[in-house]
Chain A
């Protein structure tokens, strides 16, 4: 199996708490890999380390064979690894279109251009409009991000991450705060991306996890207690005990 992302012996401690405990994980190109586990299992800590916001205490992170353990966050984005946030994180005063257009601008190179009016530059807004179309926000392009409904903000959050054209998308609870209908729509949206972009998906919504994931890793106290196909995970008695049983 070719490896897009590989975590080798990843460890992270916060004081006496072991948040990530010698974690090994491999994601293949195009794979949707779900990371599940009870609250406090260390899922977001893993995302933080892969995205570059947290430094692991030990172990290494490899993207397509290259060691990225010490790369900065922006450098990881350029290497093809982008995260989305559990708590919606947007440019609140900018329009939905501008939120995506700025991503497009950054992808196109440096921004030390001081003179030309960039607001209506089709090189920025063209691809941004297409991206809004893709996530179903085309009609809301001119609305400031802070005035969008919560579900729409989640869609915009995803659009921004996708606009970086990542090889691997780190999705930290994309369904957070969504109602059943909105969750189903978001699941369908993510399913439509299957095969185009690999995903590491942290999610509590088990319907979404089992509908989307190719493989599932179950985390407990920072340790992977199982890693298998969704069907086998569902049948796994240890997992039922640790997690699924309580749901």
Chain B
């Protein structure tokens, strides 16, 4: 029980810190901290969603950037068409654009996942990677939406009561989204559905022998996970007002995976710490060397070797 108490304390402190971040940024005259915070929140959403697949279900998807990018491009492309008048202006309202991005990612994942989940093991890793790269090259070739150069977004999707240039307000929007997604994932983890996913990860053959047809459950997890990545992608494109094919590149899939492993596989909140570590290390290490991965690599190896439940495990958390 002491463990639970410690977990609650750690989470409480972290949440307080994140809520206070804009004040800290103002006090230290570092407004870039706010952007950094938004970036962490957005990537944490995607990583936490990916953990539903990797950590809960035991499905190591190496193509998660596809759903992240599709969600991002969905809001970017709608903004382009609202700008030239070929779509009504309300498609740039957040209440429409973000759920639409989630839906686009989920529908694409439903089709691709239905194919990928026919395989398992290493084949699953490779086929998810292949499909994601296919989407990457699609957007590189799509010159109508900027191709290689990416797609700018003149202003963020309109959220009622928030100015389009208000970075602090947008940070809080991302933070609320993160807390909402974590709450949702926590509920799922403890539901009947989540317990079935747990069983599939631990021993799929056994689950079949007691009457489970696992395919539909794995597909549902795949789609939920992709939908969450779609939301993260939409927020990411809003944050930087820019969508580029890099969002869909396999290195993005790899980074999301690293965040999950670094933060703690199968721990729901762990990936948030992984995302924070990744963004902060990148940011500060890149200030002294562009070869920041030389430092990042050994850190990752160390965490994987020393702490099986990642950062979250090291600070007293459990699955």
Contact = CB atoms under 8 A, between A and B. Distances in A.
Interface of A: 51, 72-75, 77-78, 82-83, 85, 89-94, 98, 102-103, 105-107, 111-119, 121, 124, 160-161, 163-164
A89 B205 CA distance: 8
Interface stretch (B168-176, B187-195, B284-292): B187-195
Size band of the interface chain B makes with A? 20 to 34
A52 B170 CA distance: 55
B33 interface: no
Contact of B208 (A73, A94, A105, A163): A73
Contacts of B210: 77, 82, 102-103, 106, 160-161, 163-164
A51 B195 contact: no
Report which residue of B198, B202, B205 has the largest number of chain A beta carbons within 10 angstroms of its beta carbon: B202
Contact of B193 (A72, A114, A164): A114
A85 B210 CA distance: 11
Contacts of A74: 208, 211-213
A115 B205 CA distance: 26
A102 B208 contact: no
B28 interface: no
B258 interface: no
Given A92-B202, A113-B191, A114-B188, A77 B196 contact: no
A93 B319 CA distance: 11
B274 interface: no
Interface in B203-223: 203, 205-213, 217, 220
A105 B205 contact: no
A91 B205 contact: no
A118 B192 contact: yes
Which one of A118, A121, A161 has the greatest number of beta carbons of chain B within 10 Å? Answer: A118
Contacts of A114: 187-188, 191, 193-194
6 contacts: A89-B209, A91-B206, A93-B202, A106-B196, A106-B210, A114-B194
A107 B195 CA distance: 14
Contacts, number: 93
B188 to A, nearest CB: 5
A90 B209 contact: no
Nearest to B210: A103
Contact of B209 (A85, A119, A121): A85
Interface of B: 187-188, 190-196, 198-199, 202-203, 205-213, 217, 220, 319
Nearest to A74: B213
A94 B196 CA distance: 12
Contacts of B213: 72, 74-75
A48 B198 CA distance: 25
A51 B203 CA distance: 17
Given A77-B211, A114-B188, A114-B191, A94 B206 contact: no
Contacts of B209: 51, 73, 77, 82-83, 85, 89, 161
Given A73-B209, A77-B211, A102-B210, A91 B192 contact: no
B199 A112 contact: no
The 10 closest A-B pairs by CB, nearest first: A77-B211, A91-B202, A113-B192, A118-B192, A74-B213, A111-B192, A111-B196, A89-B206, A103-B210, A73-B208
B219 to A, nearest CB: 11
Contacts of A161: 209-210
Contacts of A72: 213
Contacts of A124: 192
A115 B211 contact: no
Contacts of A118: 190-192, 194-195
Contacts of A92: 202-203
A114 B183 CA distance: 12
Contacts of B202: 91-94
A161 B206 CA distance: 10
Contact of B198 (A75, A94, A121): A94
A98 B192 CA distance: 11
Given A72-B213, A74-B213, A111-B196, A89 B203 contact: yes
A74 to B, nearest CB: 4
B189 to A, nearest CB: 10
Contacts of B211: 74, 77-78, 82, 103, 106-107, 164
Contact of B199 (A91, A113, A116, A163): A91
Contact of A102 (B188, B191, B195, B220): B195
A78 B211 CA distance: 6
Nearest to A117: B190
| Residue among B196, B198, B210, B217 with most chain A CB within 10 A | B210
